[in-house]
Chains A and B, each alone.
Chain A
Amino acid sequence: MDFELSEEQVAIRDTIRELVQDRVAPRAAEIDEKAEYPKDIERLFAENGILSIPFPEEYGGISGSSVTICMGIEEIAKACATSSLILAVQALGSYPILVAGTEEQKKRLCPPLASGEKVAAYALSETGSGSDAAAMKTRAKRYGNEYVLNGTKQFITGGSVAGTLVVFAQTDPEANHKGISAFVLERETSPWQAPKLEHKLGIRGSPTAQLVFDDVKVPAANRLGEEGAGFKIALAVLDRSRPGIGAQALGIAEGAFDYALNYARDRKQFGQPISSFQGIQFMFADMATQIEAARHLVYLAATKVDAKAADLTKIAAMAKLFASDMAMKVTTDCVQILGGYGYISDYPVERMMRDAKITQIYEGTNQIQRVVIARSLLK
């Protein structure tokens, strides 16, 4: 067992940390308030190679390691959860190609993503198909060398701004989840519509779109895997992306924790800093312990992804579950430590608390994580 980062990973982390401090942190409150997609941050990440982290060198990237992806997401999320999703969704939308694509597909589809020219998104959920992904209604019918897609996807992170979109659709509705196939849509050739963006509790700058497919044509060469392999691909991708959500939750919690820790040192009541009260110290001791436990679980899961370990599904679900539940608790307690100031938007911790909530919900609700974990224990 090794708890050490490589020199390369440390260098990447330090670069991201500096960039986030200088350029992302000052924008975070505004991004949240205006609920606008931070295109400037996307470009910043593209120019500095951050969007190329999810890809191995042979496909134009700089890493492809889940540990490095998680490190990046964590660092960004410390300051701005919305911005961390730009990297997280770049990874999520690319995993299907990297996991199930042919060599030709990877060589063709990955480089524009790795260069940051395009961002990716992942479209699985529908209004009537959330936790129960197999109930999806979107249809893909084959006509010669292409498929025609019809249907509506719901809650698609970055779906309105993506240039490359992985869509799951039924090619054989009779076969339930065994009839689902995966497709890569490129905006120029297979345009989709995003008529509606949701108003949300948190991650407000990250566009959550309803996507409509109205006779959208996709070349058969853009189908990932065999027909009917889509559900398996979707699950394999979620196994790999869940540590990233764990890392996001971890970063949000750390951001709130660091802020509250400094606040507690400065804030004086009864003639002394509130950090001198044992009741407050114990809150910090518990939070720090929970954060540390989540950190090790997240990076254990990322290591398992990189090693393609047999118990990857279970550990990835554990990391996502534990880190997101932890982040909800820690950010709530950080608001508590700041008291009335914690509750107002002049201070960042209320935003972090709102941002934390989604990590318990997306990429498989925490109830689904528990099902996944229990099933793998009882197999």
Chain B
Amino acid sequence: MRELAQGVALPLAAEVDRDHRFPEEAVSAAAEAGLLGILIPREYGGMGLDALAFALCIDELARACASTSVIVDVHTSVGSEPILLFGTEDQKRKWLPRLASGELLGAFALTEPAAGSDAASLQTSARRNGDGYVLNGTKVFITNIGHAGLYIVFARTGPGKRAAGVSAFLVPAESPGVKVGQVFKKMGLNGSPTGELVLEDVVVPMANRLGREGEGFTVAMRALDSGRIGISGQALGIGQAAVDEATALMRRRAEEQLASPHPADSLREWADLPTWWGGQGEEFWLADIATHLESARMLAYHAAWLCSRGRPFTLAASMAKLHCTDTTMQVVLDALQIAGEEGAVSGSPFERHVRDAKALQIYEGSNQVQRVVIGRQLFR
């Protein structure tokens, strides 16, 4: 993964951000390397790895290119894993090999214009019609929009109130009535398309209902639990990239300074300080952020470890997502501050990281929702 990330995704990162284009080359390379089936068992054509391996892979990708990492992350976790967890044997045989090979890119369609953090209030309808359903409604902020071959769509099947009336469906992109609405222009993650999924009288056969009728909300919440491990990995990758780049920049500046001696250098020598080093202000910053990233990394690994052992991990995953993304936001802002003007110009990785990182505090459950999840578990 590191090879692919550094070799293919990294050289594209600035360009896909600037041109708002899908990093086709990186996603194809990941598919060829089998990395689109990380969590899918070998019998269904995947690699059969666990949540910790998944987090490490997303971390590596995000270190190179955050856009590519979110595409692969959404495909792998919320876009494919629900089939593995809730699908029938037929559904697994039919869809997982195609997702693992990258023939189909996965996507997850839960959010609606009026149902964000309050996902249980979603309005998209799934009306029973003969041996199937007819779906109508509009989903919004859908990652991989237009590039996905399969959408996992959540819709209201019954008069059941709120969460109890929601069911999950596998909706191939080529189904008649599936349309891509507006594709949004965003602050960051520009290589990852985000937009509206419009469903107009889309016929979905019974065989494509995922889980029982009314089980949809459970499917969504379970998907998001492990999705949060992926987002944590993504945050760690972006944060680490910012640290590495800031360190390299400090080193370079120090070398330039050495090339043209400064009166302060004699003082520096006298105090036995490392001669290339900018100063204790920067040194302390580096120590703090490296420490915070390490603590965030341990939370993410712990959540992944619990998940891979089949233990309850909702609380751990929410804590990991909250802490990793808040830490990374602070790290990228500080790194830009250290880089100064040269970090703020378009095309610099520093300003890109700031724009990319912000999304992580918002999607797959805003950090306010994570606090609600954590708070509820504490006061249970």
Query: Could you list which residues of chain A lie within 8 angstroms of chain B, going by C-beta atoms?
Result: 1-3, 261, 265, 275, 278, 281-282, 284-286, 288-290, 292-294, 296-297, 300, 315, 317-318, 321-322, 367, 369-375, 377-378
**Are B378's CB and A293's CB within 8 A?**
no
Question: Which residue of B has the minimal Cβ distance to A369?
Answer: B287
User: How far, in Å, is B240 (CB) from chain A's closest CB?
Assistant: 12
User: How far, in Å, is B278 (CB) from chain A's closest CB?
Assistant: 10
Q: Does B270 contact A (CB under 8 A)?
A: no
**Are B286's CB and A292's CB within 8 A?**
no
**Are A284's CB and B378's CB within 8 A?**
yes
Number of B residues with CB within 8 Å of any CB on chain A:
35
Question: Which residue of A has the minimal Cβ distance to B295?
Answer: A293
A contact residues around B316 at 8 Å (CB): 292
The 10 sampled A-B contact pairs (Cβ below 8 Å) are A3-B306, A282-B371, A286-B371, A289-B319, A292-B316, A321-B291, A371-B283, A373-B291, A378-B247, A378-B274
The complex places the Cα of A1 from the Cα of B53 at a distance, in Å, of 12
Question: Which residue of A has the minimal Cβ distance to B321?
Answer: A289
Question: Which residue of B has the minimal Cβ distance to A293?
Answer: B295
**Are B294's CB and A377's CB within 8 A?**
no
Additional A-B contacts beyond A3-B306, A292-B319, A370-B283 (13; CB < 8 A): A278-B372, A281-B371, A281-B379, A282-B368, A282-B371, A289-B322, A297-B295, A318-B290, A370-B288, A371-B283, A372-B287, A373-B286, A378-B286
**Are A261's CB and B296's CB within 8 A?**
no
User: How far, in Å, is A305 (CB) from chain B's closest CB?
Assistant: 16
10 smallest A-B Cβ distances: which pairs? A296-B298, A281-B375, A370-B287, A285-B374, A373-B287, A285-B371, A293-B295, A374-B283, A318-B291, A289-B319
B contact residues around A370 at 8 Å (CB): 283-284, 287-288
The complex places the Cα of A78 from the Cα of B286 at a distance, in Å, of 31
A contact residues around B291 at 8 Å (CB): 297, 318, 321-322, 373
Q: Does B277 contact A (CB under 8 A)?
A: yes
The complex places the Cα of A285 from the Cα of B284 at a distance, in Å, of 27
**Are A285's CB and B299's CB within 8 A?**
no
**Are A1's CB and B305's CB within 8 A?**
yes
Are A367 and B284 also in contact (CB < 8 A) when A292-B299, A297-B295, A315-B294 are?
A: yes
Q: Does B301 contact A (CB under 8 A)?
A: yes
Are A288 and B319 also in contact (CB < 8 A) when A261-B378, A296-B302, A370-B284 are?
A: yes
Chain B interface SS verdict (over half): helix
Question: Which residue of A has the minimal Cβ distance to B319?
Answer: A289
**Are B287's CB and A293's CB within 8 A?**
no
User: How far, in Å, is A276 (CB) from chain B's closest CB?
Assistant: 8
Q: Mark B329-372, 1 if CB is under 8 A from A, else 0.
A: 00000000000000000000000000000000000000010111
Question: Which residue of A has the minimal Cβ distance to B376?
Answer: A281
Residues 45-61 (chain B) with a chain A CB within 8 angstroms: 52
Q: Does B323 contact A (CB under 8 A)?
A: yes
Of A1, A285, A377, which contacts B287 at CB under 8 A? A377
The complex places the Cα of A315 from the Cα of B375 at a distance, in Å, of 30
**Are A377's CB and B372's CB within 8 A?**
no
The complex places the Cα of A261 from the Cα of B374 at a distance, in Å, of 13
User: How far, in Å, is B303 (CB) from chain A's closest CB?
Assistant: 10
Q: Does B179 contact A (CB under 8 A)?
A: no
The complex places the Cα of A370 from the Cα of B290 at a distance, in Å, of 10
**Are B374's CB and A289's CB within 8 A?**
yes
Q: Does B292 contact A (CB under 8 A)?
A: yes
**Are A377's CB and B375's CB within 8 A?**
no
Question: Which residue of A has the minimal Cβ distance to B276?
Answer: A378
User: How far, in Å, is A101 (CB) from chain B's closest CB?
Assistant: 31
The complex places the Cα of A2 from the Cα of B295 at a distance, in Å, of 16
User: How far, in Å, is B352 (CB) from chain A's closest CB?
Assistant: 23
Question: Which residue of B has the minimal Cβ distance to A1?
Answer: B301
Question: Which residue of A has the minimal Cβ distance to B283?
Answer: A374
B contact residues around A373 at 8 Å (CB): 286-287, 290-291
User: How far, in Å, is B250 (CB) from chain A's closest CB?
Assistant: 9
A contact residues around B298 at 8 Å (CB): 293, 296-297, 300
The complex places the Cα of A157 from the Cα of B368 at a distance, in Å, of 43
Of A286, A290, A318, which contacts B294 at CB under 8 A? A318
Question: Which residue of A has the minimal Cβ distance to B296?
Answer: A293
Are A285 and B283 also in contact (CB < 8 A) when A297-B294, A373-B290 are?
A: no
**Are B287's CB and A374's CB within 8 A?**
yes
Q: Mark B64-105, 1 if CB is under 8 A from A, else 0.
A: 000000000000000000000000000000000000000000
